[in-house]
A and B are shown apart, each in its own frame.
Chain A
């Protein structure tokens, strides 16, 4: 182990930070498309009614945002490695609500505009449009679906719902996307104004749906057919934490890195439909993978009873919690509870001097501690285990400033429950650690 680390070639870091490159690229693409859509809108000619005009522009921006939303959740490896699923998901959430309002604006203004032209009451006008113009009824159904999806995604509703239920409802957005697109083809004047506009919109939708298809279906299916993962061992780590060792074929070809996670499905009769995100708790060695999970939901609790030999379907690897984002030679790792798993894997891969702070409530909660001690010793890293009830002080600026005096010259990787993660992020701001040196992974699925 140690000799291998010493002889490993030092990775050359790109001059531009990967996260910045991806973010800038993504929003440059969005801005360029907004500009193009605006130009196409004016080229199609202006309508005689201002309300219709506003409604139409809102519809076009809505269509564009919808395609962008698909790109954000397509789980394309290039974007995911650079931005992380947590950040992509939080953008998706934010843009999702903007999209909802944009589409409502579209529907309301178009209806009011044509109601003005025909001198009908708005509701009658809507009914007339739905029954006499092809595509309008489909658009109305699409909008209703999106409103429902938006409603169950609102925080108060989301908290009361199982992930699987929420996800099931969310999948109806794909139905909405197809209905909305067919509506755009049927009635959109900007769509039919020129051959270029038509080709452009087909291109936008083709690319967005293609990205989702590749990232969410094609790539996972191909990888699982290739690697054929199976459970090799189930090892209890503590009262409610279990490690699962997984083997498969050609695992050296799987581009997983320390600090990343997969969405795991254990293909047993009663739980194949449940996917849970768990980090790799050891750096991938090309022969096997290991995940370590704490019983949080019913899904994680049943892991202990998984049988050796069970087929596993894993989507991933995902996450930007990797050395790709390292900017300094030395590192501080902060783990809270079961957040130790990606940190444990990172410790194997990191070069330079490493300090680890492992925060747990009770000493017996410190899973993988034995391994952490061994690894820290072999790597010449410093390991602090901090126990005690939740309290910011042990992770506050004073404590961390004392334990790691050169923290401003290190990369800081934080993984733990949201409260602890936020406390550490605050501490790093207080200590003046530059923002781009601080890397945090929010350990939960979309919602």
Chain B
């Protein structure tokens, strides 16, 4: 019984920081691929998407809005050939297992649907939600 008191105090001393511990989400930032097109993106993230003027080839990239989640930031960039989405690049994504599991699925679904009508990936609900938001913003920006 005498030992119980210090052990209880130690337990509380251990549990308080454990309970207050907040995981630090890590965001992976993709290296800019096309320097000419990506340059204006480095400005502060915009809530609405930004559209790049079509290059000579007709390929156009559109960047979606930056969505912050508790797991990290999500931002997508779409590459269009005309009205066709030909590629989805993650400008920013949380550096977590669930996200890495979800992104290939989300990208494939986007290319199939050619719209933001994408199903949530189970186990990555938050990332999926943020992805769809950023994607929708990009599609809207392209429409302008």
Q: Which of A's residues lie within 8 Å of B, judged by CB? A: 44-49, 52, 56, 113-115, 117-118, 125, 128-138, 141, 164, 168, 172, 175, 179, 189, 192-193, 273
| Residues A133 and B125 in contact, CB atoms below 8 Å apart | no
Kindly state the interface size class of chain B when it binds its partner. 20 to 34
For the complex, give the distance between the alpha carbons of A132 and B96 in Å.
7
Chain A contacts for B4, CB-based, 8 A = 168
Q: Please, which residue of chain A has its CB at the minimum distance from the CB of B23?
A: A134
Report the minimal beta-carbon distance from A133 to chain B, rounded to whole angstroms: 5
Chain B contacts for A193, CB-based, 8 A = 122, 125
| Residues B23 and A46 in contact, CB atoms below 8 Å apart | no
For the complex, give the distance between the alpha carbons of A175 and B124 in Å.
27
| Residues A130 and B1 in contact, CB atoms below 8 Å apart | no
For the complex, give the distance between the alpha carbons of A47 and B122 in Å.
6
Among B14-22, B45-53, B74-82, B130-138, the one that faces the other chain is B14-22
Chain B contacts for A164, CB-based, 8 A = 1
| Residues B97 and A114 in contact, CB atoms below 8 Å apart | yes
Q: What are 21 A-B pairs with beta-carbon distances under 8 A?
A: A44-B122, A45-B119, A45-B121, A45-B122, A46-B122, A48-B105, A49-B101, A114-B97, A114-B98, A114-B100, A128-B95, A128-B96, A128-B97, A131-B24, A132-B25, A133-B23, A133-B96, A134-B70, A136-B23, A137-B21, A189-B123
Chain B contacts for A48, CB-based, 8 A = 101-102, 104-105, 121
Contact mask for chain B residues 35-68; partner A; CB cutoff 8 A; 1 contact, 0 none: 0000000000000000000000000000000000
* New contact pairs (8) apart from A129-B96, A129-B97, A137-B21, CB-CB < 8 Å: A46-B122, A48-B102, A114-B100, A128-B96, A132-B24, A133-B23, A141-B18, A179-B18
Chain A contacts for B23, CB-based, 8 A = 130-137
For the complex, give the distance between the alpha carbons of A141 and B17 in Å.
12
B117 contacts the other chain (CB 8 A): no
Chain A contacts for B18, CB-based, 8 A = 137-138, 141, 179
Chain B contacts for A192, CB-based, 8 A = 125
Chain A contacts for B71, CB-based, 8 A = 132-133
For the complex, give the distance between the alpha carbons of A49 and B102 in Å.
10
Chain B contacts for A134, CB-based, 8 A = 22-23, 70
Chain B contacts for A125, CB-based, 8 A = 97
Chain A contacts for B104, CB-based, 8 A = 48
Among the listed B7, B26, B121, B124, which residue makes an inter-chain contact with A132, where contact means beta carbons less than 8 Å apart?
Answer: B26
Chain B contacts for A189, CB-based, 8 A = 122-125
Chain A contacts for B70, CB-based, 8 A = 134
Name which of A132, A168, A172, A273 has the most chain B CB atoms within 10 A of its CB: A132
Report the minimal beta-carbon distance from A141 to chain B, rounded to whole angstroms: 6
Considering the complex of A and B, which 10 residue pairs feature the smallest CB-CB distances, nearest first?
A114-B97, A45-B122, A117-B101, A134-B23, A189-B123, A47-B123, A118-B100, A117-B100, A44-B122, A132-B26
For the complex, give the distance between the alpha carbons of A172 and B23 in Å.
24
Report the minimal beta-carbon distance from A234 to chain B, rounded to whole angstroms: 24
| Residues B1 and A273 in contact, CB atoms below 8 Å apart | yes
Among the listed A52, A129, A175, which residue makes an inter-chain contact with B123, where contact means beta carbons less than 8 Å apart?
Answer: A52
Report the minimal beta-carbon distance from B71 to chain A, rounded to whole angstroms: 7
Report the minimal beta-carbon distance from A16 to chain B, rounded to whole angstroms: 43
Report the minimal beta-carbon distance from B32 to chain A, rounded to whole angstroms: 23
For the complex, give the distance between the alpha carbons of A193 and B125 in Å.
8
For the complex, give the distance between the alpha carbons of A125 and B97 in Å.
8
| Residues B123 and A56 in contact, CB atoms below 8 Å apart | yes
Report the minimal beta-carbon distance from A364 to chain B, rounded to whole angstroms: 35
B89 contacts the other chain (CB 8 A): no
B120 contacts the other chain (CB 8 A): yes
For the complex, give the distance between the alpha carbons of A118 and B11 in Å.
35
For the complex, give the distance between the alpha carbons of A189 and B125 in Å.
7
Q: Please, which residue of chain A has its CB at the minimum distance from the CB of B7?
A: A168
Name which of B24, B95, B102, B125 has the most chain A CB atoms within 10 A of its CB: B125
Report the minimal beta-carbon distance from A214 to chain B, rounded to whole angstroms: 24
For the complex, give the distance between the alpha carbons of A44 and B18 in Å.
29
Chain B contacts for A132, CB-based, 8 A = 23-26, 71-72, 94-96
For the complex, give the distance between the alpha carbons of A114 and B105 in Å.
15
For the complex, give the distance between the alpha carbons of A9 and B96 in Å.
70
Chain B contacts for A175, CB-based, 8 A = 11, 15
